[in-house]
Amino acid sequence: MDTTSPAVFVNGALLRRYIGQKVRAVIQVIRSEIGSVVGKSTDDQQIVVKGSPQPPLTSYLEVIGIAESDNTIRAEVWTNFGDSFDAQNYNELCKLANGEFRHLFI
């Protein structure tokens, strides 16, 4: 496990704090395009994830990659998270992991 460069839990709003850094996010897939997937972050923002996942994709995906801009991640790892996922809890986790309990995560 690469502890030198941990992937930060992010939602749409937190993404811009980590531009150029490694992040992880769970998105709900809206549509797949060539070379990218357009999805909705757990805080309901639209995010473009660049890269080519292995189909088939479930409706929820976890992506780990580098934050490129406010709303783009260049993904390195794609993981199917199934079709039912508690996005709200994940969103809370993102906030905690970047707030009060940040030290536990990064």
Applying CB under 8 A, the residues found at the interface with another protein are 13-14, 16-17, 86, 88-89, 92, 95-96, 98-104
Nearer to another protein, 40 or 50 (CB): 40
Residues 15, 62, 105, 88, CA torsion sign: positive
Task: Compute the least distance from the CB of residue 26 to another protein, in Å.
Answer: 13
Task: Compute the least distance from the CB of residue 90 to another protein, in Å.
Answer: 9
Nearer to another protein, 33 or 86 (CB): 86
Task: Compute the least distance from the CB of residue 20 to another protein, in Å.
Answer: 14
Nearer to another protein, 30 or 96 (CB): 96
Q: Which amino acid is at 68?
A: E
- The single residue listed with the structure tokens 């783009």 is 72
d(CA 14, CA 24): 11
Distances (CA, A) of 3 to 6, 25, 65, 77, 93: 5, 18, 15, 16, 19
Task: Compute the least distance from the CB of residue 31 to another protein, in Å.
Answer: 26
Nearer to another protein, 5 or 88 (CB): 88
Please state the φ and ψ torsions of residue 103, each to the nearest 5 degrees.
Answer: -60, -25
